[in-house]
Amino acid sequence: MAVDRYMKWNVIDPCDFRWRFWDGQHVVYNPASGDTHLLNPIAGEALQSLQQSPAGVSELAGRVASRLDIPSDRRFLEQVEQLVNELNELGLIESEQP
């Protein structure tokens, strides 16, 4: 499913994630779905960032790139776009109601 770049994304509501960070891996438990997710650093940072405040894909890519000190180029933007799609399908985030 394609993600609208101008849409804002937020963590699900209500959001009561439980986090662990070990050895460069983020583990997050979502009490609403009962699912546990093992996230790589980019996905972990993106989700944590959205938990702090909603963002569109471009803004989110910028935030994550800056936090992990990696270049925020077009390829990275596409990567974050796909990531947002996956996080949405997993029920961790949702688009903000217009």
Summarize as ranges the residues that interact with another protein (CB under 8 A). 18, 20, 22-27, 29, 31-34, 36, 38, 89, 91, 94
Whether omega before 14 lies within 30 degrees of 0, making that bond cis, reads yes
To another protein, the closest distance from the beta carbon of 68 in angstroms equals 17
5 vs 20, which CB is nearer to another protein?
20
The two tokens of residue 70 are 């990696």
Apex 78 CA angle, 52 and 53, nearest 5: 10
To another protein, the closest distance from the beta carbon of 21 in angstroms equals 8
To another protein, the closest distance from the beta carbon of 95 in angstroms equals 10
The CA distances from residue 63 to 12, 16, 49, 71, in Å, are 19, 22, 8, 11
15 vs 77, which CB is nearer to another protein?
15
Total count of residues recorded for the chain:
98
27 vs 77, which CB is nearer to another protein?
27
How far, in Å, CA of 36 to CA of 90, rounded? 10
6 vs 22, which CB is nearer to another protein?
22
